[in-house]
Amino acid sequence: MKSSISAVVNGKPVQTSVEPRTSLADLLREELRLTATHLGCEQGVCGACTVLIDGQPARACITLAVGIDGSEIRTLEGLDQDPLMFALKAAFHDKHGLQCGFCTPGMLISAWDLLRRKPHLSEAEIRVAMSGNLCRCTGYQGIVRSIKSAAENWARRAALAQEQGA
């Protein structure tokens, strides 16, 4: 039996009904056609489906759609005007943070959450914090460099903004 849910997805109210076994990832991709959320392993290991639920990163493949009733969901599409995400995308472009691009949406969302919580991280800390997102192309070198570079650009920008404000 289907259950009706309502949520806010990328700022827009959504009302729909889902089977209890439908994952949030399938709801986003199949029904809402938000295909930036990628499905790799479908068992919570690869991180390609990482989205934000009420501002917190989560695996959409192991989140039941029926359970997100009343929540605010943000996918990569919903961060296209976000300045930190813009900095991350530019850095991934610059420092070869992707090859095939399959893992990239999850990488970007995890990195976005990471830099918001911990803007000043060493390379080793970035590697540990990003260990929940798998990439089978890059060997991670470019991804770590991209995140480090985005973090530095972001910190410079924040310092500049503070200077101008003062």
Nearest to 84 by CA among 13, 161, 8, 142: 161
Q: Which of 9, 61, 85, 88 binds other proteins (CB under 8 A)?
A: 61
58 near other proteins, judged by CB under 8 A = yes
Q: Which stretches does DSSP call E strand in 23-157?
A: 50-53, 56-59, 72-74
Whether residue 68 contacts residue 24, with contact meaning beta carbons closer than 8 Å, is answered with yes
Within 102-161, which residues bind other proteins (CB under 8 A)? 110, 113-114, 127-129, 131-133
Q: How far, in Å, are 5, 23, 50, 77, 159 from residue 105 at the CA level?
A: 25, 18, 8, 9, 28
Q: Which of 16, 35, 42, 90 binds other proteins (CB under 8 A)?
A: 42
Q: Which of 37, 50, 75, 138 binds other proteins (CB under 8 A)?
A: 50
Q: Write out the residues near other proteins by the rule CB under 8 A.
A: 1, 3, 19-21, 23, 26, 42-45, 47, 50, 53, 56-59, 61-64, 66-67, 69, 110, 113-114, 127-129, 131-133
